Amino acid sequence: MANLKDVLSNSAGEFLKAGGAASLKVKEALREHRRREYRIFLFVAGVVVCGLMLCVVMLLASESQKMRVAAGVIGLGSGGGLEILRRIWKDWSQTDLLLILIEDAGEAQVATIVNKLIKKL
């Protein structure tokens, strides 16, 4: 799974080759990255919710030993799943903010922004 830095690094090479059309390619790459992150977020959220529902069903229909195991799985699974969701959401929101920032920017401004972000990320 590519993160925002990878998308920007791949797009940075376009500024030397594409002339005035590079910012359009950067915007399209960012939009595609944002769509991919959103789909991944929805998938992981669905998996986490289904896993939690399965553990709750196991808790309701099990014996005491299985209850301890299911309670542990709920804690570990939900904590890890929520951390993954947080990281995906952070990357998605950064991409969204970057798209807003470069929407009306010129070619030189987009190149400057992308180069600075690559260094900071």
Q: Residue 77 and residue 52: Cα distance in Å, rounded?
A: 8
Q: What is the domain extent for residue 8?
A: 4-120
- Residue 108: name the closest of 116, 100, 96, 118 by CA: 116
Number of domains in the chain: 1
Of residues 29 and 13, the one with the higher pLDDT is 29
C-beta separation of 121 from 8 below 8 A: yes
Q: What is the pLDDT of residue 41?
A: 93
Average pLDDT, the chain: 81
Confidence (pTM): 0.74
C-beta separation of 96 from 38 below 8 A: no
Q: Residue 39 and residue 45: Cα distance in Å, rounded?
A: 10
The torsion of the CA quartet 97, 100, 105, 111, rounded to 10 degrees, works out to 30
Question: Per-residue pLDDT tens for 44-78?
Answer: 999 988 888 887 787 777 777 777 777 777 877 78
